[in-house]
Chain A
Amino acid sequence: KQEVTQIPAALSVPEGENLVLNCSFTDSAIYNLQWFRQDPGKGLTSLLLIQSSQREQTSGRLNASLDKSSGRSTLYIAASQPGDSATYLCAVISYNNNDMRFGAGTRLTVKP
């Protein structure tokens, strides 16, 4: 069964700092990996989707990488802003199960 781990569980940084969130998964046989953002009490907003054949995706200040062989993904946030404060969730879809498994999330706080 696919297991997804996110490190760190929580992160607090000053505004303007670049930061990296980490995600690891145990089964490398994946269709894709997706990063989401969740604001308190809200639903999930999709940030980036990386197909299994891709190594990275970029959207604005966000860059996500995927190393399938080592079971790792990173989400890089450049020039962080207070509006980036949220919980970031990593999720993978596996070949075997065809469902989406989530990490526990990283709670990010960007201080003005």
Chain B
Amino acid sequence: SAVISQKPSRDICQRGTSLTIQCQVDSQVTMMFWYRQQPGQSLTLIATANQGSEATYESGFVIDKFPISRPNLTFSTLTVSNMSPEDSSIYLCSTYRESEAFFGQGTRLTVV
């Protein structure tokens, strides 16, 4: 199974600030994914990040708000910019190995 280390596990942030979430995979992977899970909701895909190209964003998510980096095949970051209380959610990164999906532990973000 793939091991994904995600940090921070939680944070409380002031509105208007930005938070960068990091995910480190224990081996090289082609695709990484970022999800948001709002309170009481299921997971919504934010974007797909391939190494060496710009991330592909889902409808309703834009690069200025959620910039993503993918500098190599084992690492990715998601930044939540200019935060508001509506951004309070759990954010999860994910990847595949042999067609099975694996997730980071999640980042619980609270914006006050």
A residues at B contact (CB < 8 Å):
31-32, 34, 41-44, 46, 49, 51, 89, 91, 93, 98-105
Contacts and interface: CB of A to CB of B under 8 A. Distances in A.
Interface string B62-86: 0000000000000000000000000
A43 B33 CA distance: 15
B45 A98 contact: no
8 contacts: A42-B105, A43-B105, A46-B1, A89-B43, A91-B101, A93-B96, A102-B42, A103-B42
Contact of A46 (B48, B101, B105): B101
Contacts of A51: 99
Contact of A43 (B41, B42, B92): B92
A100 B43 CA distance: 10
Nearest to B33: A99
* Interface SS, A side: strand
A105 B44 CA distance: 12
Q: What size tier do the contact residues of chain B reach?
A: 20 to 34
Contacts of B105: 42-43
A98 B49 CA distance: 12
A102 to B, nearest CB: 4
Given A43-B105, A100-B45, A103-B42, A34 B92 contact: no
Given A42-B106, A100-B33, A32 B99 contact: yes
Given A100-B33, A100-B45, A103-B42, 11 more contacts: A31-B99, A32-B100, A41-B90, A43-B104, A43-B105, A43-B106, A44-B43, A49-B99, A91-B43, A93-B99, A100-B101
A91 to B, nearest CB: 7
Interface string B27-67: 00001010100000111110010000000000000000000
B106 A104 contact: no
